Amino acid sequence: DAGVIQSPRHEVTEMGQEVTLRCKPISGHNSLFWYRQTMMRGLELLIYFNNNVPIDDSGMPEDRFSAKMPNASFSTLKIQPSEPRDSAVYFCASRQTSTGELFFGEGSRLTVL
């Protein structure tokens, strides 16, 4: 299996621009998570989907952030408009069952200038 696939690996953009991060979970996995890694807070959970349905989005920082999962094999995290404080590494992760191991993608490093 190819594992969790994220794109782009690196994104540099200017403040105010829209950013879209993409994730393909492992086939057969029914839960998908978006995390953000920063020096200060480590791995913060942004949103969690189960069977394509958002279960908990309490970690989404503000209305500028939105996430979708239109089908079992694809999810997006969108930031509009982006701000410099959004600069971080964003990880997507998936798992097969509610208590199974969480598999992470390699991350998307976002820099907002």
Q: Which is nearer to other proteins, 14 or 85 (CB)?
A: 85
* Min separation Cβ 78 and other proteins, Å: 21
Encoded amino acid at 50, one letter? N
Selection from 31, 43, 46 nearest residue 93 by Cα: 31
**Phi, psi (rounded to 5 degrees) for 86:** -80, -5
Please name every residue paired with 23 in a beta bridge, in sequence order, or none if there are none: 6, 75
Q: Which stretch binds other proteins (CB under 8 A): 14-22, 29-37, 70-78, 79-87?
A: 29-37
Residues near other proteins (CB under 8 A) = 4, 31, 33, 35, 40-45, 48, 55-56, 91, 93, 98-99, 101-107
